[in-house]
Amino acid sequence: MKAMMRPQPGDLFYLPAWNSQEVYGLVIGRYIDHIEPNIGHLIEVFDRFYVEPPVRIEDVDRSRRLFRPVMWDMWFQKPYPRWKILFSDPTYDRSQSNYEHIAIAWHNDIWIGGESRKVPKEVFDTLEPSICWRTHHLILRAIIHLAGILGPDDKHDYHRLPPAYRVDNPEAQKAVEALALEMDRRFQVWQENEKKLKPRAKKP
């Protein structure tokens, strides 16, 4: 594991989350690419919830998304610690993320697979809005979908959320901050345990 600094396409990282029973754990996201000109970092988040990080990349369930791909600013503002990259995948290709069909509403057009297109308004209104998500808002978004308040194909809709799940609720902000700090602490423990389990090199 390494702290998230400059992820590469295909890198798998964790997001702190709690499930519908409010058990602390994590979900796993995949870094797709940086979208020029500085629009944001395109990511996808998978719907499997873990109480501990998977040991091997093969153990990561990438079959279903928790919500549609979004742009992320990748800015870790204090007190939020940097997330960890769990695995890198040198064989990754954007087609594995169905990149050519990822669509985001952008002003009066849509951004789809790296291109700008015109679509009818009824299609435009169903798409993910062009929000560049902040880190702690992204955590709350994962929690919202794990709770079943929004489905995997639902765009973010502030007015559908109970007050406890809204980003402007101070209590929700405190809860997300506590979650992020606790999961970072757990990762430090897991990393220390990993080091203890690794066999020491024999002296010549």
Q: Given this model, what pLDDT does residue 78 score?
A: 86
Q: Where are the beta strands (DSSP E) in the chain?
A: 2-3, 12-18, 24-35, 40-46, 65-72, 84-87, 103-106, 109-112, 115-117, 128-129, 132-133
- Give the model's confidence band at 203: pLDDT under 50 very low, under 70 low, under 90 confident, else very high: low
Q: Given this model, what pLDDT does residue 120 score?
A: 85
Query: pLDDT digits over 77-116, tens only?
Result: 888 999 999 999 999 999 999 999 999 988 778 888 888 8
Query: pLDDT digits over 146-196, tens only?
Result: 999 999 999 999 999 999 999 999 999 999 999 999 999 999 999 888 787
Q: Given this model, what pLDDT does residue 111 score?
A: 87
Prediction pTM value: 0.91
Q: 56: which residues sit within 8 A by CB, 6+ positions away?
A: none
Q: Given this model, what pLDDT does residue 202 score?
A: 56
Query: Residue 94: what residue type?
Result: R
138: Cα within 13 Å, side-chain hemisphere = 31
Q: Is the pLDDT of residue 70 over 90?
A: yes
How far is Cα 114 from Cα 106, in angstroms, rounded to an integer? 12
Q: Tell me the angle at which helices 170-197 and 135-146 cross, rounded to the nearest 10 degrees.
A: 90
Phi, psi of 180 (to 5 degrees): -60, -40
Q: Is the pLDDT of residue 141 over 90?
A: yes
Q: Is the pLDDT of residue 201 over 80?
A: no
DSSP 8-state symbol, 199: P
